[in-house]
């Protein structure tokens, strides 16, 4: 079955379930297995791969570059610039380093990893310069809270805000996600399983039992339930990415959602954006 997609403001369709790469490419990891996993994920339709220059000081980017060799036309590639590098000149140089590490001519979506000390206007101008030069296809941000987004939106057209969002981190639902939705900025959810900490939660386990699924699959299905959020779980084995893909088959019922809401109450007031 084709993977459902959502459409960015620029008209580009991306899958609602992708692949994260935090801690992939580390010396202690199984490089061959990690490459095989990313390639298997692309074959399953999880063709959005997210990385960052920070991940392993470029090791993740190099691993991704090796994994997508021969598959580039089928992959939507997301990368991030560190805030410390996000001056105008620094952003351009960082992008060029990432392109070299990845072995590609263009990054599809380039994000500011989180808010730093450099003026946002300078970073946005660099993003737009890189876009005109064909080195990135689009740009966005990560870990931007409501006030950050209000400052950013008059400066340009971000496509995505990548944030920490899962059943135990629902604060963005109150004001951040509605603001982004109104502006046409899509939400991308990292750590959708809370780095494994949700796997033993009894409410999620009860929902998983109803669907003959795993807790991880239920958490992923919850993130993408409305078709307007992209989840980017990490997997390091082919079996793991296959399990992630099965989350696409789960349709949470009203009873499921009520149980999850009881365990993880929706926010009733604004909360500072959390980060991992």
Query: Which sequence positions are flagged as catalytic?
Result: 55
Asked if 236 contacts 34 with a C-beta cutoff of 8 angstroms, the reply is yes
Distance, in Å, from the CA atom of 125 to the CA atom of 147, rounded to the nearest integer, reads: 20
Beta-carbon contacts of 63 under 8 Å, excluding residues fewer than 6 positions away, are 21, 24, 25, 31, 34, 35, 38
Distance, in Å, from the CA atom of 231 to the CA atom of 244, rounded to the nearest integer, reads: 10
Q: What share of the chain is helix, strand, coil (3-state, %, to 5)?
A: 45, 15, 40
Strands 107-112 and 76-81, by their bridges, are parallel
Beta-carbon contacts of 241 under 8 Å, excluding residues fewer than 6 positions away, are 19, 37, 38, 40, 41, 44, 46, 235
Backbone φ, ψ for residue 261 (5° rounding): -65, -35
Asked if 130 contacts 98 with a C-beta cutoff of 8 angstroms, the reply is no
Distance, in Å, from the CA atom of 261 to the CA atom of 204, rounded to the nearest integer, reads: 11
Q: Which residues pair with 160 in a beta bridge?
A: 186
């Amino acid at each position: 079955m084709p993977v459902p997609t959502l459409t960015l403001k620029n008209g580009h369709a991306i899958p609602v379930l992708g692949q994260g790469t935090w801690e992939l490419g580390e010396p202690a990891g199984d490089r061959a297995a990690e490459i095989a996993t990313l390639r298997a994920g692309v074959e399953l339709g999880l063709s959005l791969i997210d990385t960052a220059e920070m991940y392993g000081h470029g090791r993740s980017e190099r691993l991704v570059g090796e994994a997508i060799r021969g598959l580039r036309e089928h992959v939507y590639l997301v990368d991030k610039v560190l805030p410390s590098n996000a001056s105008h000149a620094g952003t351009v140089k960082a992008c060029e380093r990432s392109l070299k590490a990845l072995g590609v001519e263009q990054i599809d979506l380039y994000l500011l990893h989180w808010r730093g000390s450099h003026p946002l206007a300078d970073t946005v101008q660099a993003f737009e310069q890189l876009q005109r030069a064909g080195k990135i296809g689009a740009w966005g941000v990560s870990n931007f809270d409501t006030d950050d987004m209000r400052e950013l939106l008059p400066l340009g057209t971000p496509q995505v805000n990548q944030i920490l969002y899962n059943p135990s981190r629902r604060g963005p639902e109150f004001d951040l996600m509605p603001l982004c939705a109104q502006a046409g900025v899509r939400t991308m959810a990292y750590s959708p399983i809370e780095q494994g900490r949700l796997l033993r939660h009894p409410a999620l386990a009860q929902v998983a039992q109803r669907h003959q699924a795993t807790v991880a699959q239920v958490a992923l299905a919850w993130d993408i339930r409305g078709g307007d959020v992209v989840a980017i779980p990490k997997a390091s084995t082919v079996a793991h990415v296959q399990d992630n893909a099965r989350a696409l088959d789960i349709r949470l019922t009203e009873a499921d959602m009520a149980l999850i809401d009881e365990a993880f109450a929706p926010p009733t007031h604004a909360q500072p954006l959390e980060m991992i």
